[in-house]
Structure 1
Amino acid sequence: MSAHAFAVPARATLPGRPTPGIALTAAAPGQDALLPPAALALLTTLHRAIEPLRQARLAARVQRQAFFDGGGLPDFRADTREIREGDWRVAPIPAALLDRRVEITGPTDPKMVINALNSGAKVFMADFEDSTSPTWANLLAGQRALAEAVAGTLQFDAPASGDKPGKHYALKPEGERAVLIVRPRGWHLDEKHVLVDGAPLSGALFDAALFAFHSARTLQAKDRGPYLYLPKLQSMEEAALWETALSHLEASLGLPLGQMKVTVLIETLPAVFEMHEILHALRNRIVGLNCGRWDYIFSYIKTFRAHPDKVLPERGQVTMTQPFLKAYSELLIQTCHRRGAHAMGGMAAQIPINHDEAANEQAMARVRADKLREVTAGHDGTWVAHPALIPVAQALFDAHMPQPNQHQVLREDVQVGRDELIRPPAGAITRAGFEGNVEVCVRYLAAWLDGNGCVPIHWLMEDAATAEISRAQLWQWLHTPGLHLDDGTAIDLRLLEAALHKLPATLGDRGKLPGGAKLDAAIALLDRLSRSDTLAEFLTLPAYALID
């Protein structure tokens, strides 16, 4: 951790007396400094204002999924036609966010925060959601790291290990750092370590509010936000709930209305039909939408879990060149540019293969092809998971987008309707694809249960979103009658049992695997979820009960 002691900024001016109704159910080093009475008061009032509305939105999700399970299809809303057809634009984009051609994402531990801010990317998205296992210690360490990064004091000393000497990490000068954007957890996730009036706080509110409490005034003074990435929205009403929550935060912290700027990830199938509406609900603070491709594929599977005519082939065949994903990304570009907002591209999950030059070049070629597709389609920037990919993506965006963004590319040629967005691609399910899904799920779950939310597996950076694709595909394949592998083998529980049984031997020494000690628990959880009559809404919901 940082060599500097953490202290609450003097500008946090909320009341300092203890707040009745709030309780912490865990303890970690430095907790009192991160959660002083003023912060607890903010969390309490925010919970009481937002929690009934959050629960109503979560209940609406359940009702909507029941409609899909009954054979219904998502579509553009008739009651919001005026918003889609109206002539309006979002508020002007701050200067710090005009050029976002390459963004890097990752968890919030101190070493990652320093390396990402120093990486040369335009933006670092510090991720409390898909890349962070939400142990209490991880969450507090992440909040401390971000507060110290904003203050410019964050340092980290890596101890010596084997033949490797220790290493000191420190931030570059402020003008050489990436712009910080924080992704809080989604509306569906609770923070079980904080109870208000006996109920768990929303994980989204804990992450966003505590970050703002410690850093909003400093960031405002630097004209750097605070900025957020909002995940997993399914409707304009969920976007409006964020507007209510952020307006409450701004009023509580003495910030101007609209000071907190947001980018929204379009990573659920229902949300792609409400992109105009989501932009409109947040029009005074939103700066863009992002193609959250991995969660979007997962959401397609979940939405159509009861539709045997919409089963996707194995994950490796579901690329952004498939027509339904191409339609999604191009409609997002058209929508954003019509409204004066950024259209951000998706994640390149590849990591360098240092020991195999030929394999590494093949991986980098896939990255180049993907980023060339994005920039020539009209995207204003893209995501990478590893610093080595930054120059690869940057070169392509520099060559094809010399200006800060390309809002002038209106893509009026795009004609996308409901059918184009929901038509499944053709493809197959191979034995390797089935067993690969099992391996990814188990290895990621084991690491997540052990406190690590971002894991390299077969030279791809796996996070909760990519693991969700594998987990949801397994469930759908097993619960759709009559499916077979391409070699004719029936996809059934015996196939799953065989894959789970041989996996430990295939993986080898558990001591060399992230979360190896949790391997048996991960296998048991995947087995239980795969056998369940109903697809669990999110992998992290039952897994969360097994940590801390």
Structure 2
Amino acid sequence: MTQQATNEEIMFHQPEGELERQVLTPGAVDFIADLVARFTPGRNQLLAARQREQQAIDQGKLPDFISETASIRNGDWRIRGIPADLQDRRVEITGPVERKMVINALNANVKVFMADFEDSLAPGWQKVLEGQINLRDAVNGTISYTSETGKIYQLKPDPAVLICRVRGLHLPEKHVSWRDAPIPGSLFDFGLYFYHNYQALLAKGSGPYFYLPKTQSWQEAAWWSEVFSFTEDRFSLPRGTIKATLLIETLPAVFQMDEILHAMRDHIVGLNCGRWDYIFSYIKTLKNYPDRVLPDRQSVTMEQPFLSAYSRLLIKTCHKRGAFAMGGMAAFIPSKDEAQNRQVLEKVTADKSLEARNGHDGTWVAHPGLADTAMAVFNQVLGARKNQLDVRREEDAPISAAQLLEPCPGERTEAGMRANIRVAVQYIEAWISGNGCVPIYGLMEDAATAEISRTSIWQWIRHNKTLNTGEPVTKALFRTMLGEEMQVIRREVGDARFAAGRFDDAARLMEQITTSDELIDFLTLPGYRLLA
């Protein structure tokens, strides 16, 4: 490792190679340095505020709507506007910023590709820099990829609109430091994508568009608005050039959707139901409440009252302000078995039909093979309309805090617990090996679904819950099952793959984060230490 001070206070801890020369140009590094120096202190204050808020919830103060901001909720205002190429977002595909994936996603039968530096990417240094090059080449229309078998992948003439998802505020970029601390990964991802692509994007009638994950408060949204406004001023761009869609995927944020839209009204175009992370956040936020423990992951569907209320409130709030209300992810992946695949497509159709009927403007899929199914559902509901901003849900009864926090019934089963262990271990193993987007048992797993798997078990242990057999869920039971499920995984993947992989490291990390007395906030934080 070499240390290179390229700017007065920013330090890079990797040797300079071809990747670094292409991405970390002097202009880009100056811009990153400006962002980091100006906005890191505020980001650190926001993370401290998250901890204080969680401590209050742990001590009995349930999340609620904010009385001080009632005038914003009751006011008559709208967001600045939505660019022409984002007016129709009926199907979006998401996936990591790997070269072949980027081409396949942009070519899929979708309107938007969300290129992901967050939950579906294990952010090794090389992967992050290669991702920036891949997106630059995609924006410029020059991206191509040749597989080992000689198959050539290239962009079709009319690719999907590109939106870049940056890392959450909590994630560091450990290979770059400022004042002896790792810089925020979010600013690194945002700064590089913006700097290298804004001119080409604007020249072709698009713009620098972003997805913002894991937001917990309107103050965090306001921080992003300041980042965007500073950037626009620095590059002499009109206010509102940078646009963002923000994921409502934490329990605290669902109580502040009006305030978030208001704080970002110059830059925001919509909110998204990040349902898997939202379920994870429900567990994590309410971890001290024995009456709000979730059942098996398979039981926690969008039909559950607390999730249905969340989806409907998001639609009503967004459409009142002229913003899009995007639906959630279908994590299924197509099956080669015809009967199984029919079942998968039926489940996707049912899920997407519910979203479309509720009034969502579009939805997410994780695999190009599901794009046609999701598209057909939204085409049928939308007809000639580009979106459903006209669906105001004004006849809905007001949604209360109690509805958003409602306990979720369902069984805790041995099979469910064992499945959670296998999914989480296999995902962690893939992640620390550098792959953040993994097909496991017919679902495309990313960090959010693995988080649900491990926090569910932690919560069951923490509150001495029993399985439906009457057996108490204890640390000892978990450790026994972990040992047994490691053997199941070995049989499923084969001895050679098991020996070559990092399954022992993954099992150790799974054991640590599931049996710790205090809940570890994000598995990606200790996981990042095991990543190159």
Instruction: Give the TM interval when normalised to the shorter protein.
Output: over 0.9
Q: Which amino acid aligns with 1:454?
A: C
- Give the corresponding residue for 1:286: 268
Pair 1:447-2:447 in alignment: no
Q: Deviations over 1:187-219 (max 9, x none)?
A: 000101111232211100000110001001111
- Give the corresponding residue for 1:372: 353
- Give the corresponding residue for 1:65: 54
- Give the corresponding residue for 2:213: 231
Alpha-carbon distance, 1:370 to partner: 0.4
- Give the corresponding residue for 2:455: 472
Measured in 1, the distance between the counterparts of 2:31 and 2:234 equals 7
- Give the corresponding residue for 2:366: 385
Change in Cα spacing, 1:125 to 1:183, as seen in structure 2 (3 Å) is same
Pair 1:26-2:14 in alignment: yes
Measured in 2, the distance between the counterparts of 1:369 and 1:216 equals 38
Shifted more, 433-442 versus 243-252: the winner is 243-252
Contact 1:447–1:516, Cα closer than 8 Å, also in 2: no
Change in Cα spacing, 1:337 to 1:64, as seen in structure 2 (3 Å) is same
Q: Which amino acid aligns with 1:453?
A: G
Change in Cα spacing, 1:534 to 1:227, as seen in structure 2 (3 Å) is same
Contact 1:267–1:293, Cα closer than 8 Å, also in 2: yes
Measured in 2, the distance between the counterparts of 1:544 and 1:18 equals 25
Alpha-carbon distance, 1:24 to partner: 0.9
Alpha-carbon distance, 1:251 to partner: 2.3
Q: Which amino acid aligns with 2:135?
A: L
- Give the corresponding residue for 1:3: none
TM-score (norm 2): 0.96
- Give the corresponding residue for 2:375: 394
Measured in 2, the distance between the counterparts of 1:119 and 1:347 equals 16
Q: 1:177 aligns with which of 159, 166, 175?
A: 159
- Give the corresponding residue for 1:6: none
The percentage of counterpart residues that share the same residue type is: 50
Alpha-carbon distance, 1:256 to partner: 2.1
Change in Cα spacing, 1:448 to 1:365, as seen in structure 2 (3 Å) is same
Alpha-carbon distance, 1:512 to partner: 6.8
Q: 2:89 aligns with which of 97, 100, 108?
A: 100
Pair 1:421-2:442 in alignment: no
Change in Cα spacing, 1:93 to 1:119, as seen in structure 2 (3 Å) is same
Alpha-carbon distance, 1:511 to partner: 6.2
Pair 1:248-2:236 in alignment: no
- Give the corresponding residue for 1:12: none
Q: Which amino acid aligns with 1:398?
A: N
- Give the corresponding residue for 1:13: none
Measured in 1, the distance between the counterparts of 2:211 and 2:356 equals 21
Q: Deviations over 1:280-330 (max 9, x none)?
A: 001011110000000000000000001001001010000000010000000
Alpha-carbon distance, 1:246 to partner: 1.3
Measured in 2, the distance between the counterparts of 1:298 and 1:502 equals 25
Q: Which amino acid aligns with 2:452?
A: I
For 1:502-541, list aligned pairs within 5 A.
502-507=484-489, 508=491, 509-510=493-494, 517-541=501-525
- Give the corresponding residue for 1:109: 98
- Give the corresponding residue for 2:254: 272
Q: 2:136 aligns with which of 128, 142, 147?
A: 147
Alpha-carbon distance, 1:480 to partner: 0.8
Contact 1:213–1:253, Cα closer than 8 Å, also in 2: no
Q: 2:300 aligns with which of 310, 318, 338?
A: 318
Contact 2:422–2:486, Cα closer than 8 Å, also in 1: no
- Give the corresponding residue for 1:4: none
Q: Which amino acid aligns with 1:476?
A: Q
3-state SS, counterpart of residue 399 of structure 2: coil
Contact 1:116–1:387, Cα closer than 8 Å, also in 2: yes
Contact 1:447–1:515, Cα closer than 8 Å, also in 2: no
The runs of 5 or more residues in structure 2 that have no matched partner are: none
Could you say what the CA RMSD is over the residues aligned between the two structures, in angstroms? Answer: 1.4
Alpha-carbon distance, 1:226 to partner: 0.6
Aligned length: 523
Alpha-carbon distance, 1:517 to partner: 1.2
Measured in 1, the distance between the counterparts of 2:496 and 2:211 equals 34
Q: Which amino acid aligns with 1:521?
A: D
Change in Cα spacing, 1:55 to 1:494, as seen in structure 2 (3 Å) is same
Contact 1:114–1:154, Cα closer than 8 Å, also in 2: yes
- Give the corresponding residue for 2:75: 86
3-state SS, counterpart of residue 316 of structure 2: helix
3-state SS, counterpart of residue 340 of structure 1: coil
TM-score (norm 1): 0.94
Measured in 2, the distance between the counterparts of 1:306 and 1:526 equals 21
Pair 1:299-2:281 in alignment: yes
Alpha-carbon distance, 1:29 to partner: 3.9
Alpha-carbon distance, 1:510 to partner: 4.9
- Give the corresponding residue for 1:334: 316
Measured in 2, the distance between the counterparts of 1:384 and 1:48 equals 37
The runs of 5 or more residues in structure 1 that have no matched partner are: 1-16, 161-165
Q: 2:442 aligns with which of 439, 459, 463?
A: 459
3-state SS, counterpart of residue 535 of structure 1: coil
Contact 1:448–1:515, Cα closer than 8 Å, also in 2: no
Alpha-carbon distance, 1:19 to partner: 2.1
Alpha-carbon distance, 1:53 to partner: 0.4
Measured in 1, the distance between the counterparts of 2:419 and 2:8 equals 50
3-state SS, counterpart of residue 301 of structure 1: helix
- Give the corresponding residue for 2:392: 410
Alpha-carbon distance, 1:488 to partner: 1.4
Contact 1:265–1:290, Cα closer than 8 Å, also in 2: yes
Contact 1:294–1:469, Cα closer than 8 Å, also in 2: yes
Alpha-carbon distance, 1:487 to partner: 1.1
3-state SS, counterpart of residue 343 of structure 1: strand
Runs of 4+ in 1 over 6 A off after TM superposition: none
Change in Cα spacing, 1:110 to 1:476, as seen in structure 2 (3 Å) is same
Pair 1:222-2:198 in alignment: no
3-state SS, counterpart of residue 501 of structure 2: helix
Measured in 1, the distance between the counterparts of 2:18 and 2:345 equals 41
Pair 1:346-2:334 in alignment: no
Pair 1:258-2:236 in alignment: no
3-state SS, counterpart of residue 30 of structure 1: helix
Measured in 2, the distance between the counterparts of 1:49 and 1:512 equals 49
Measured in 2, the distance between the counterparts of 1:517 and 1:65 equals 36
Shifted more, 145-154 versus 495-504: the winner is 495-504
Q: Deviations over 1:146-168 (max 9, x none)?
A: 001101111111112xxxxx211
Pair 1:361-2:350 in alignment: no
Change in Cα spacing, 1:496 to 1:44, as seen in structure 2 (3 Å) is same
Contact 1:447–1:514, Cα closer than 8 Å, also in 2: no
Measured in 1, the distance between the counterparts of 2:211 and 2:470 equals 44
3-state SS, counterpart of residue 411 of structure 1: coil
- Give the corresponding residue for 2:41: 52
Contact 2:334–2:442, Cα closer than 8 Å, also in 1: yes
Q: Deviations over 1:472-497 (max 9, x none)?
A: 1111111112x111111111112211
Q: Which amino acid aligns with 1:249?
A: T
3-state SS, counterpart of residue 11 of structure 2: strand
